[in-house]
Structure 1
Amino acid sequence: MSEIYTMPGHLIRRLQQISISVFTDRMKALGHDLTAPQFATLAVLSNSPGIDQATLAGMIAHDRPTIGGVVERLEAKGLLTRRRNEKDRRAMILELTDAGAALLDAITPEVRALQDDILPGLTEAERTEFVRLAAEVAKVGNDAARAPMVLPATAQDST
Structure 2
Amino acid sequence: MTDINDMPGYLIRRLHQISVAIFTARTAEAGFDLTPVQYGALATVNRYPGIDQVTLAGCIAYDKATIGGVVDRLIQKGYLKRDVSPSDRRARVLDLTDEGRAVLEAATPIVAEVQDQSLSGLSEEEARTLLDLLKKATDAGNSLSRAPLRAAPQPK
Structure-2-length-normalised TM-score: 0.93
Q: Once the two structures are superposed, what CA deviation does each residue of 1:35-79 show, in whole Å capped at 9, x if it has no partner? A: 000000110011100010000000000001211111000000110
**In structure 2, how many angstroms separate the alpha carbons of the residues matched to 1:30 and 1:153?**
32
Whether the 8 Å contact between 2:48 and 2:153 is mirrored in structure 1 is: no
User: Amino acid of the residue matched to residue 47 of structure 2?
Assistant: N
When the two structures are aligned, how many residues end up with a matched partner? 155
Counterpart secondary structure, 2:51: coil
Structure 1 residue 12: Cα displacement: 0.8
Distance 1:97 1:153, change over 3 A: closer
Match for residue 54 of structure 2? 54
Contiguous gaps of at least 5 residues in structure 2: none
Relative contact order (C-alpha < 8 Å, sep 6+): which is higher?
2
Structure-1-length-normalised TM-score: 0.92
**In structure 2, how many angstroms separate the alpha carbons of the residues matched to 1:75 and 1:46?**
14
Whether the 8 Å contact between 2:84 and 2:90 is mirrored in structure 1 is: yes
**In structure 2, how many angstroms separate the alpha carbons of the residues matched to 1:97 and 1:147?**
27
Match for residue 117 of structure 1? 117
CA RMSD of aligned residues (A): 1.5
Whether the 8 Å contact between 1:38 and 1:70 is mirrored in structure 2 is: yes
Contiguous gaps of at least 5 residues in structure 1: none
Identity %: 48
